[in-house]
Amino acid sequence: MDMPGEEYKGGGIKISRNAAIFIACTFGSSLLLVGLLCGLLPADDPCNIQVPEPTEPPVEPVETTKALMTTERAEPTPSPGPTASAPQPWDSLRLPTDLIPSHYDIGLRIYIDDEQRFVGSISITMECKQSTHLLLLHSKELNIIPTSVRMLSVDEGWLLPKGPPRLFPANQYLIVEFDEMLTAGKSYIFTIAFYAPLEDGLVGLYRSSYQANGETRYLATTFFAPTDARKAFPCFDEPAMKVTFNLTLIHEDGYIALGNMPLLRSESAGTGWTRSVFAKSVPMSTYLICFVVCDFVEKNTTTGNGVLLRVWAREDAKDSLDYALEKGAQVLDFFDGYFGTQFPLPKMDMIAIPDFAAGAMENWGLITYRESALLYTPGVSSSSNKQRVCAIVAHELAHQWFGNLVTLEWWDDTWLNEGFASYVEYLGTDAAEPDWGMTDQFVSADLQTALDADALITSRPIIVDVETPDDINQQFDTISYNKGASILRMLQNFLGEDTFRKGLANYLDEFAYSNAKNTDLWRVLTEAAVEDGKADIKVEEIMRTWTEQMNYPSINVTRDYTSGFTLSQNRFLINPAANTTTDYDDLGYIWYVPLKYTTSAAPNFTDPTLQWLEPEREQVSIDFDDGMTSEDWLLANVNAYGFYRVNYDEKNWDLISKQLTEDHEAIPISSRAALISDAFNLAVSGQLSMVTAFNLTFYLEDEQDYVPWSVLNQVLGYVDLMLSRSQAYGLFSTYMRRQVEPFYNYVGWNDTVGSHLDQSGRVIAISLACGYGNEDCVNTAIEYYATWMADPENNPVPPNQKSRVYCTAISAGGQEEWNFAYQEYLSTSVATEKNILLAAMGCSRIPWILNSYLELSIAPNGTIKAQDAENVAGYVASNTIGSDLAWDFFRVNWDFYRNEYGSSVFQFSDLIESVTANFNREFQLQELLDFIETHPDQGTGSRAFAQAVDQTRANIRWMEDYEEEVMEWLEWAVTA
């Protein structure tokens, strides 16, 4: 799965449920699918119970069969009183392991156009491991048809359920009890039929829509990860319960159907209906199942290794598919080689879904994307959009091995899937686009994001216990993705590329079609290390310190300026005053730290010296080799492979600063980026003087590389956020304008000049220059926008600069400029363009416009899709003029937001983070605490709220400790 990204594109409004309830006979090729209205079941000959398939859409009203409504909340066995007996199996959030499924036959009839519902049946072949009379399945918001429930013992014939099945909605269970025991060692086949509305949601089996030629077209699609397969059919919805499955879909004519596996055949299923039958799947987890019924078009190619790769989109977007197709084929072949195991399916489909909750989802053989993550339109889309497409394609393709072939045992290891894919997506992207400097980009993107998030007391260990769906959803966060990726990159660096790859190949081999835990990976990597003569590297012992406790160390490097230096480690917290008791265990907050260093006396950036810091030794002293003088600098954590911060004594910082000012290229890009980030973060936490950190920014005048600027943009962006209402802001603006000017003049506005990285650098240069009021920049932006307004058919704005140009013009303009953007938002069908406009409309400086914009975003049946409201609130909040408005609006409309996003994977936490990001005053903290106290039902937002409190406290501290100091420094710097 990948995160939605900065822009969000969501779905429609929830529809009311179908009042009239229909049921259908069932279908499919399975010998066991049971006809519901066909009277009694025949005797115990399974061969006799094949039921004629419906010849026309079934429209039998349910009068005779009362369906089991999910709303009825049929509680199982009367709740025990105070004399409570032992807890029941359904009280546990984990399925019992008495029954283990091996195969599903799934048949679904999907009514997309008029009735908006689906009916289905599933036959589950299972093995009884331990005798039981109880079957528990996951089922969520499905209406069960009680008379359809059947259990066949392969040896002994039919077993009758004891009464109708019951639901236990609290834990999303369906409970079926039998009079007779199911016997250990025997096989059973369970069949059940069900139906549900096909809602315009974003999870389970849902309906999405788009506009073509002025009409609305529909599609049915799925999003099951992590716990919503159970919303489409009852199943054992846990990742370790891998099954093969046969899928048959019956859908209206005029649509095509796609599944994980190739289509075997498509045939008529009565007037107006088509039956699509798919090949039997490989063994896989339920969360990876996917199918889509749509009227899309495709482009295809065959990869070097013979896999049919197709990319799909609505017809109007067909011309935007080529880039993903080309890069997808390259990356798929690259991973075949990298992992040493061929992609096991005969085909791979990648499809752009108009309404989509995440960025993409790695369903095996059928990857779904939001449009902005798959479509790239040359001449219209920006280069960052291009990079996003390539990186997300690489991420999802990496999952085909790491996640799909070998799957996490349980969601406490979510990071194994996500951290891994987030790391190797850089390798895949680098293979497809070797000029993009992906190794350096990792430092400004994933690494810094992870270090920021993990410096809070409200962070979490990578591995934590999880049970409820809300817990599981909250696992899909920066810690799993970015920290996971960062520590794997560190591991690869100290193990060595070859050993790491060998270990991975062995791991994929050993656990193919099965499940594994982090300890399995450590064991296999340790074995590879031993084979390669590196037995001293105790992978598990080392990695436990990075995965089982939260946060990370700062490494204190102190030179004696005669012979050498000493190293020590401290747990790093951005706010050391934070209350340090947490819910999580720790290993004493001491780590195994691999530290590579070099010096200006003998610079070596390719193979620097490795020094370990171990938990047992508080301090390590190292002597320099000869030739080191007191005027040479020492650089530790070369190229930022380590997941920690490095602090030096003041003199060494000054030596580094001097080097940067004299010739910054003597220090490589990744290290420059890390130095800036470390200095500012150490300063904020009180371990380094703010003056030392700000002094490092002097060299900016000469910096022309994207990655260090990107990090500067982040750390100074934080300063900007803190100072935005301070009297120091004027000075800060002046300083920033001055420092970015040479870079701005160097890159210019001509988007066609320079490499991909130059283009990315230009975006930052223009963004900062315009943002801090560089006159030439602002005027150019306003001019571009005015030219466009005069001739809307011809947009002259360079694609890469659209965000900043639109924002600048709307910020400087009034109602007319805003309205123009809104009209363009309504008329464009390009997803990325819509997102840019949506963000730019939040840049207005006119409060009533911002307020109407917020109102517009949540209007029922409005022009802005309901799910986009989350981003609108975030955009308005990030505007200094709008931040209070957004926070008030968020509180007033809490019910709406809680309802819409309260169980989402990424969106809810993003929203909470963005509406509180600028809080740095006591009264804001108080408002936040009051709100949390009066709104205890926070769904997937609970951790985000706790983090917002922590971050606000850190911000308040920053203001108290540094506002004045920074102002003095700025005064000195701008007059210097």
Ligand X SMILES: *[C@@H]1O[C@H](CO)[C@@H](O)[C@H](O)[C@H]1NC(C)=O
Active centre residues (catalytic): 396
Q: How many residues bind ligand X (CB under 6 A)?
A: 17
Separation CA 866–CA 202 (nearest Å): 12
Residue 482 is a binding residue for ligand X (CB under 6 A): no
Residue 398 is a binding residue for Zn ion (CB under 5 A): no
Reported as type and span, the H/E element at residue 892 is helix 883-892
CB under 6 A: which stretch of 518-526, 566-574, 850-858, 926-934 binds ligand X?
Answer: 566-574
- Which residue number, 576 or 742, has a Cβ lying nearer to ligand X? 576
Which partner, Zn ion, ligand X, none, binds residue 29 by CB below 5 to 8 Å per kind?
A: ligand X
Residue ranges for the known binding site are 395, 399, 418
CB of 293 to ligand X, least distance (A): 17
Q: How many residues bind Zn ion (CB under 5 A)?
A: 3
CB under 5 A: which stretch of 1-9, 665-673, 767-775, 965-973 binds Zn ion?
Answer: 1-9
- Which residue number, 32 or 543, has a Cβ lying nearer to ligand X? 32
Q: Which of 157, 136, 126 is nearest to 41 (CA)?
A: 157
Which partner, ligand X, Zn ion, none, binds residue 280 by CB below 5 to 8 Å per kind?
A: ligand X
The distance of Cα 116 from the centroid of its chain, to the nearest Å, equals 29
Of residues 21-50, those binding ligand X (CB under 6 A)? 29-30
Residue 280 is a binding residue for ligand X (CB under 6 A): yes
Q: Environment class of residue 136 by beta-carbon count within 10 Å: exposed (0-12), middle (13-18) or buried (19+)?
A: buried
Q: How far is CA 318 from CA 11, 310, 793, in A?
A: 21, 12, 21
Residue 439 is a binding residue for ligand X (CB under 6 A): no
Contacts 24+ apart (CB under 8 A), 652-655: 652/557, 652/559, 653/679, 653/688, 653/692, 653/696, 654/692, 654/695, 655/600, 655/631
C-beta atoms surrounding 225 within 10 Å: 27
Which partner, ligand X, Zn ion, none, binds residue 88 by CB below 5 to 8 Å per kind?
A: none
- Which residue number, 309 or 421, has a Cβ lying nearer to Zn ion? 421
User: What angle (nearest 5°) sits at the alpha carbon of residue 37, between those of residues 34 and 42?
Assistant: 55
Q: Look at strands 273-278 and 244-252 and give their pairing.
A: antiparallel
Residue 851 is a binding residue for ligand X (CB under 6 A): no
Question: Residue type at 277?
Answer: V
Task: DSSP for 471-502, please give it.
Answer: HHHHTSSHIIIIIHHHHHHHHHHHH-HHHHHH
Of residues 405-444, those binding Zn ion (CB under 5 A)? 418, 421
CB under 6 A: which stretch of 267-275, 333-341, 563-571, 787-795 binds ligand X?
Answer: 563-571
User: Contact with ligand X (CB under 6 A): which of 171, 246, 947, 952?
Assistant: 246
Task: DSSP for 118-161, please give it.
Answer: EEEEEEEEEEESS-EEEEEEE--SPEEEEEEEEEEETTTEEE-B
Which partner, Zn ion, ligand X, none, binds residue 666 by CB below 5 to 8 Å per kind?
A: none
- Which residue number, 420 or 709, has a Cβ lying nearer to Zn ion? 420
Q: Which two tokens stand for residue 513?
A: 């079609």
Angle between helices 497-511 and 518-531 (to 10 degrees): 130
Q: Which two tokens stand for residue 308?
A: 């049919």
Separation CA 361–CA 352 (nearest Å): 11
Residue 568 is a binding residue for ligand X (CB under 6 A): yes
Binding string, 898-937, against ligand X, x = CB under 6 A? ----------------------------------------
Task: DSSP for 327-370, please give it.
Answer: HHHHHHHHHHHHHSS---SSEEEEEEESS-SSSEE--TTEEEEE
CB of 279 to ligand X, least distance (A): 4
User: Contact with ligand X (CB under 6 A): which of 183, 449, 506, 558?
Assistant: 558
- Which residue number, 474 or 657, has a Cβ lying nearer to Zn ion? 474
Strand-by-strand arrangement of the 645-648 sheet? 619-623, 564-572, 552-559, 645-648
CB of 1 to Zn ion, least distance (A): 4
Which partner, ligand X, Zn ion, none, binds residue 286 by CB below 5 to 8 Å per kind?
A: none
User: Contact with ligand X (CB under 6 A): which of 37, 51, 74, 279?
Assistant: 279
CB of 881 to ligand X, least distance (A): 40
Question: What does the H/E/C string look like for 441-468?
Answer: HHHHHHHHHHHHHCCCCCCCCCCCCCCC
Residue 970 is a binding residue for Zn ion (CB under 5 A): no
User: Contact with ligand X (CB under 6 A): which of 105, 199, 237, 751?
Assistant: 105
Which partner, ligand X, Zn ion, none, binds residue 568 by CB below 5 to 8 Å per kind?
A: ligand X
- Which residue number, 524 or 656, has a Cβ lying nearer to ligand X? 656
CB of 317 to ligand X, least distance (A): 16
To which residue do tokens 């917002």 refer?
A: 948
Residue 566 is a binding residue for ligand X (CB under 6 A): yes
Residue 570 is a binding residue for ligand X (CB under 6 A): yes
Separation CA 338–CA 23 (nearest Å): 49
To which residue do tokens 């399925």 refer?
A: 95
Contacts 24+ apart (CB under 8 A), 70-76: 70/140, 70/141, 70/142, 70/143, 70/167, 70/169, 72/167, 73/167, 73/169, 74/166, 74/167, 75/166, 75/168, 76/166, 76/168, 76/175
Q: Which of 589, 466, 447, 463 is nearest to 518 (CA)?
A: 463
Reported as type and span, the H/E element at residue 744 is helix 729-747
- Which residue number, 248 or 808, has a Cβ lying nearer to ligand X? 248
Report whether 137 contacts 235 (CB < 8 A): yes
- Which residue number, 566 or 609, has a Cβ lying nearer to ligand X? 566
CB of 558 to ligand X, least distance (A): 4
Separation CA 944–CA 935 (nearest Å): 14
Q: Which two tokens stand for residue 121?
A: 């049946």
CB of 585 to ligand X, least distance (A): 24
User: Contact with ligand X (CB under 6 A): which of 556, 692, 695, 767?
Assistant: 556
- Tell me which DSSP letter residue 286 carries: G
Angle between helices 414-432 and 383-399 (to 10 degrees): 130
Separation CA 365–CA 363 (nearest Å): 6
CB of 278 to ligand X, least distance (A): 7
Task: DSSP for 580-605, please give it.
Answer: ---SS--STT---EEEEEEESSS--S
User: Contact with Zn ion (CB under 5 A): which of 1, 34, 719, 763?
Assistant: 1
Residue 687 is a binding residue for ligand X (CB under 6 A): yes
- Which residue number, 464 or 675, has a Cβ lying nearer to ligand X? 675
Residue 300 is a binding residue for ligand X (CB under 6 A): yes
CB of 451 to ligand X, least distance (A): 17
Q: Environment class of residue 87 by beta-carbon count within 10 Å: exposed (0-12), middle (13-18) or buried (19+)?
A: exposed
Which partner, Zn ion, ligand X, none, binds residue 1 by CB below 5 to 8 Å per kind?
A: Zn ion
Which partner, Zn ion, ligand X, none, binds residue 439 by CB below 5 to 8 Å per kind?
A: none
Which partner, Zn ion, ligand X, none, binds residue 421 by CB below 5 to 8 Å per kind?
A: Zn ion
User: What angle (nearest 5°) sits at the alpha carbon of residue 93, between those of residues 123 and 899?
Assistant: 95
Which partner, Zn ion, ligand X, none, binds residue 959 by CB below 5 to 8 Å per kind?
A: none
CB under 6 A: which stretch of 352-360, 450-458, 564-572, 672-680 binds ligand X?
Answer: 564-572
Report whether 142 contacts 194 (CB < 8 A): yes
- Which residue number, 432 or 674, has a Cβ lying nearer to Zn ion? 432
Residue ranges for the known binding site for Zn(2+) are 395, 399, 418
CB of 347 to ligand X, least distance (A): 8
Which partner, ligand X, Zn ion, none, binds residue 256 by CB below 5 to 8 Å per kind?
A: none
* Partners of 105 in beta bridges: 123, 246
- Which residue number, 66 or 280, has a Cβ lying nearer to ligand X? 280
Binding stretches for ligand X (CB under 6 A): 29-30, 105, 246, 264, 279-280, 298, 300, 308, 310, 556, 558, 566, 568, 570, 687
Binding stretches for Zn ion (CB under 5 A): 1, 418, 421
